[in-house]
């Protein structure tokens, strides 16, 4: 049965640690409960704003939310072995890293590089989360969702989800139209390690582990250690992980930057495009470790903006805009927030 609360504090539902309130907060634990909630809302107050949230690790509230916040409690991991691999159907409220740990423990492979990413499984399908050379879209086969306008249940094949770098149709064209209830994955019973990203090989070598000997447990442990070394714990210092997306630029733009910075890190996208780490651009603009009021750029990872204590969402947004302006001025590149900004846009 759905649980409804009024004037509900959202502090524990956003990892930035922003104090904000929702007029109404509705938690549900089944698809049928969600359908009933949506239909009741649309019948009684069809124009009320509705926001569906997960673990809050990708949210920045600029103000109180004058509407209804929905939150899923749908859990469960269903597994089926098929000739083409392991098929999983996972509830949207399952903690993402709990899923990764479960899969590694049971010999279901393909999620190791996505270890220790905060948030819930439902958000993985919306954000197309990624890290260390892997993305959720690599293993998602389908998404189940409920329409927030009509309460109807729908199933979307992965090919219909519009997946791209940190994007999906749920985040773009269909933003706010659906609540993800379950995500379907296809994993492998054979471990094929992806080691060519983010210092993974170096970290394994430091432990005396050769590439041909690495296990899924080794890879998961190393990825977690790398993330912990770079990223602040949101329980200690509010943050949403990587705040900006890495920009994809034309080869001409990349070559121009390389002329001034021969050591610029980059990742080949295709013959015409190159991805440049946003953290590198921000650091070159002198923002790493700098503060603007109660918000700051993290001193170990310039891609992360942090709440130094009692910052408001607008404090974080002001820092975001200052950083973006400097990167645009110096490099001619516009970097975009990866975080979902509620109450305004950047």
Residue 196 dihedral angles phi and psi, to the nearest 5°: -95, 50
166 is catalytic: yes
Dihedral in degrees, nearest 10, Cα atoms 37, 42, 45, 47:
120
242 is catalytic: yes
Alpha carbon 6 to its chain centroid, in Å, reads 28
Of 120, 242, 284, 324, the active-site residue reads: 242
Q: Pairing mode, if any, of strands 178-187 and 238-242?
A: unpaired
338 is catalytic: yes
For residue 44, CA distances in Å to 9, 31, 80, 148 come to: 24, 20, 41, 14
Between helix 96-106 and helix 216-230 the angle, nearest 10°, is 160
- Tokens 């900006």 found at: 244
Of 24, 35, 166, 221, the active-site residue reads: 166
- Tokens 């004037």 found at: 7
Question: Can you tell me the distance from the alpha carbon of 74 to that of 259, in angstroms, rounded to the nearest whole number?
Answer: 52
Of 112, 120, 135, 338, the active-site residue reads: 338
Q: Which of 57, 162, 179, 210 is nearest to 119 (CA)?
A: 57
Which residues are part of the catalytic machinery? 166, 242, 338
């Amino acid at each position: 049965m759905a649980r409804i609360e009024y004037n509900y504090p959202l502090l524990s539902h956003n990892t930035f640690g922003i104090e904000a309130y929702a007029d109404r907060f509705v938690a549900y634990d089944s698809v049928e409960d969600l359908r009933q909630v949506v239909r009741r809302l649309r019948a009684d107050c069809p124009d009320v704003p509705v926001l569906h949230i997960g673990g809050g690790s990708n949210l920045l509230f600029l103000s109180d939310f004058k509407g209804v916040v929905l939150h899923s409690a749908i859990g469960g991991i269903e597994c089926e072995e098929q000739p083409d691999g392991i098929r999983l159907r996972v509830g949207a409220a399952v903690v993402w890293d709990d899923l990764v740990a479960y899969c590694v423990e049971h010999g279901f492979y393909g999620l190791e590089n996505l270890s220790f990413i905060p948030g819930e499984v439902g958000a993985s399908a919306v954000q197309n989360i990624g890290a260390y050379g892997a993305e959720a879209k690599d293993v998602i086969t389908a998404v189940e969702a409920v329409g927030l306008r009509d309460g109807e249940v729908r199933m979307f094949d992965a090919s219909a989800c519009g997946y791209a770098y940190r994007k999906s149709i749920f985040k773009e064209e269909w933003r706010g139209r659906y609540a993800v209830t379950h995500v379907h994955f296809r994993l492998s019973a054979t471990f094929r390690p992806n080691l060519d990203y983010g210092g993974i090989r170096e970290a394994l070598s430091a432990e005396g582990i050769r590439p041909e000997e690495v296990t899924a447990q080794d890879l998961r442990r190393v990825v977690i250690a790398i993330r912990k070394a770079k990223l602040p714990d949101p329980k200690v210092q509010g943050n949403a992980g990587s705040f900006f997306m890495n920009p994809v630029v034309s080869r001409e733009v990349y070559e121009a930057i390389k002329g001034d910075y021969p050591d610029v890190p980059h990742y080949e996208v295709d013959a015409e495009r190159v991805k440049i780490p946003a953290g590198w651009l921000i650091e070159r603009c002198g923002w790493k470790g700098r503060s603007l009021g109660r918000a700051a750029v993290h001193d170990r990872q310039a891609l992360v903006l942090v709440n130094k204590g009692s910052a408001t969402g607008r404090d974080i947004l002001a820092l975001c805009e200052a950083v973006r302006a400097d990167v645009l001025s110096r490099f001619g590149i516009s970097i975009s927030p990866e975080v979902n900004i509620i109450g305004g846009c950047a």
